[in-house]
Amino acid sequence: MSADVRHELRQYPLLMQQLLIARGITSAADAEVFLRPDYERDIHDPFLLDGMDVATARIKEAIDKQETIAIYHDYDMDGIPGAVVLHDCFKNLGHTQIVLYVPHRNRDGFGLHKAALDTLHKDGVTLIITVDCGITGVAEVAYANKLGIDVIITDHHLPAGDAELPDALAIINPNKGTCGYPNKDLCGAGVAWQLARALGAGNEKWMLDMVGAATLSDMVRLTGENRALTHFGLKVLRKSNRHGLVALCKKTGIAQSYLSEEDLTFMIAPRINAASRMDNPELARDILLADTPEAAHKGAEALEHLNNSRKGTVAGMLRDAHRRLADRGELSPVIVIGDPEWLPGLAGLVANTLSEELDRPVFVYGGASEDPSVLKGSCRGNGAIDVVRLMDAVADVWREYGGHTHSGGFGIDKEHIHTLEDVLSKHVLDASIETAAETDRTDLELTLDSVNWDTYRQIEQFGPFGVGNPKPVILLQQVIPKTITNFGKEKNHLKLSFDAVEAIGFFMTREQFSLEDNTALTLLAHMEQSFFRGKPELRLRIVDIVS
């Protein structure tokens, strides 16, 4: 650390200085912006989004004329919260002529569909507002225009390569080529929220529970505006009286007033997403819109059942995938695997697990029930390969595709699936797709004595944590646990007990690391607070045991 940087950051403790520098923050002014999110300063004007003026004028006209407006939204933990935001917006504006429509993940797949447009036309819809989808729906928007339905697209997905954009009345997407909006990482619910702000929704800050939840769940970068949206979103989530959130927190044992990023991404979001993965996306939306505690409780019970079913099905798919991969021998730089009998809605979960295990992009497919000749699936990157740009490189292969840097979805004819792995791998091997440099896993080296509440409160100021702002990894060298135990119903979790703190590793065991009693080890861990016993408790979350 240079003398100039030390002088700039002198108001912060040494530990915080180290974490600031690790994030490329070397001035007092930048540190102030990062550590103290500010609503007025960090949230951008919604009218910086190209098309916002046209969209708001058309929507206000529809409200004045009492037209029927459809909110056509994606089925995941971005599209569903975004739809809830717009639903609340129209409710506040006093417009009740609203139709909510969500395609089914396994039956319909992602995006706009002509059959859905026919249904909405019969229902008297004259204006469709998409949420978290639509940017690739060129043919579908043209069909809607033919039916006399205006379409306003709100989306954040990357347009497919150099393809033309839909001929919509307005396209509100920070990633549209002509859009100068400063935050290209705004999630779908965030775009919908900016539309609600532009319309004068009234209680925009209370809608940040949905925006914060979607921003965390959709794996967009938590920097700049997104950091502020998540920061304030978590504050609202902890206070929200939204019946569905309260019911989900109770069902999962989350202390709502202390709800964390992990609670959201590992407990709440999987249950919301389970609804669409198991082909009932309306259930997840309806629980977030529930107007009584009783309806919310019933919905939470149903979601729990679906989530348990989802776990069992995914476990079976993973077993099958592991068996097939073991038979392959040496693996390609890109993995393509699947089965027409697999549910496409679960492909992303399998792809995510395999990508983490194998450290390479993974494309997983299942059958598309409406057309046996088409396969649909999801892909996940390993942090080094931009999967959308990878798909762009072979754009002529796909029926449809899209997504973000780290994840995407696709449709493909069966005839192309057998050569897909070779084609994708060739582009990675030829360095056609940019890769990211590897980074050191360790942020701080501490002693066990330094694992205390004062240290935690310093680290906590760097949250919310997620993509672009990972939770700091602490290195503890040559520490000796007092006890080493496997715990849980299946004894598949690990606990290391030290004098003043415990270290927990979920889905880790002492056998996995060949741990012996009274032997020093080197630990990589996060520091966190737990409410497992009903009160705040400091603990370590094991990342790895390296010796």
Where are the chain's structural domains?
3-33, 46-240, 243-312, 330-429, 444-545
Q: For residue 399, is pLDDT > 50?
A: yes
The fold of the 46-240 domain, in CATH, is: inorganic pyrophosphatase (n-terminal core) (3.90.1640)
Average pLDDT on 183-212 reads: 96
pLDDT, average across residues 147-163? 88
Bridge partners of 497, per DSSP, are: 483, 502
Judge whether residue 369 has pLDDT over 80.
no
Per-residue pLDDT at 432 exceeds 60? no
Residues 6+ apart with CB under 8 A from 302: 283
- In whole angstroms, how far apart are CA 106 and each of 136, 145, 278, 340, 474? 19, 27, 8, 12, 41
pLDDT over 90, % of the chain: 72
- Residue 314's alpha-carbon distances to 237, 310, 505, in angstroms, are 29, 6, 22
pLDDT at 242 over 60: yes
Mean pLDDT of 408-426: 92
User: What mean pLDDT comes out for the span 519-543?
Assistant: 88
Q: Which residue has the tokens 């206000």?
A: 60
Query: Could you tell me what percent of the chain has a pLDDT over 70?
Result: 96
> Please, which pLDDT band fits residue 404 given cuts at 50, 70 and 90?
confident
Query: What's the mean pLDDT in 424-433?
Result: 74
pTM: 0.83
Residue 291 has pLDDT above 70, yes or no: yes
Residue 136 has pLDDT above 60, yes or no: yes
Q: What is the pLDDT of residue 240?
A: 94
Q: Which two tokens stand for residue 167?
A: 């001929």
Q: How far is CA 318 from CA 98, 132, 292, 351, in A?
A: 41, 28, 38, 9
The CATH number given to 330-429 is 3.10.310.30
* CA distances in angstroms from 140 to 166, 171, 314, 443, listed in the order given: 8, 14, 32, 48
Q: Quickly state the pLDDT bin for 438 (edges 50, 70, 90).
A: very low
Q: State yes or no: pLDDT of 92 exceeds 50.
A: yes
Location of structure tokens 């039916």: 147
Instruction: State the amino acid at position 435 in one-letter form.
Output: T
Task: Let me know if domain 444-545 sits in CATH 2.40.50.460.
Answer: yes
Name the nearest CA neighbour of 412 among 426, 430, 424: 424
Beta-strand ranges (E) seen in 47-86 are 68-73
- CA 172 to CA 131: how far, in whole Å? 10
Longest distance between any two alpha carbons in the chain, whole Å: 76
- Indicate if the pLDDT at residue 440 is higher than 70: no
DSSP, collapsed to helix, strand or coil, labels residue 494 as strand
**pLDDT band of 370, cuts 50, 70, 90:** low
**Hey, what amino acid is at 170?**
A
Q: Which long-range contacts does 348-352 make (Cβ < 8 Å, 24+ apart)?
A: 348/378, 348/380, 348/407, 348/409, 349/277, 349/310, 349/314, 350/314, 350/317, 350/318, 350/321, 351/377, 351/378, 351/379, 351/380, 352/380, 352/407
In the predicted structure, residue 435 carries a pLDDT above the cut 70: no
Distance CA 409, CA 204 (A): 31
Q: What is the mean pLDDT of residues 224-235?
A: 97
User: Strand, coil or helix: what is 456?
Assistant: helix
The residues, ordered by sequence, that sit 6+ positions from 326 with a Cβ below 8 Å of its Cβ are none
Least confident of 59-68, 432-441, 530-539: 432-441
| Residue 534 in this model has a pLDDT that exceeds 90 | no
**Which span out of 193-197, 257-261, 274-278 was modeled with the highest average pLDDT?**
193-197
Q: Read off the tokens for 539.
A: 């603990």
Region 114-141 average pLDDT? 96
Q: Sorting pLDDT into bands at 50, 70 and 90, what band is 371?
A: confident
Regarding beta strands 483-487 and 474-479, do their DSSP bridges make them parallel or antiparallel, or are they unpaired?
Answer: unpaired
Q: Where are the beta strands (DSSP E) in 155-271?
A: 170-172
Listed as own residue / partner, the contacts of 153-156 with beta carbons closer than 8 Å and 24 or more positions apart are: 154/55, 154/82, 154/129, 154/130, 154/188, 154/191, 154/192, 154/195, 155/130, 155/131, 155/188, 155/191, 156/132, 156/185, 156/186, 156/187, 156/188, 156/190, 156/191, 156/220
Please name every residue paired with 153 in a beta bridge, in sequence order, or none if there are none: 130, 171
Mean pLDDT, the chain, whole residue set: 91
Residue 420 has pLDDT above 90, yes or no: yes
Which residue has tokens 């502020």?
228
Q: What's the pLDDT score for residue 162?
A: 66
What average pLDDT score do residues 274-302 get? 93
- pLDDT of 161 > 70? The answer is no
What's the confidence (pLDDT) of residue 277?
A: 83
201 has a pLDDT exceeding 60: yes
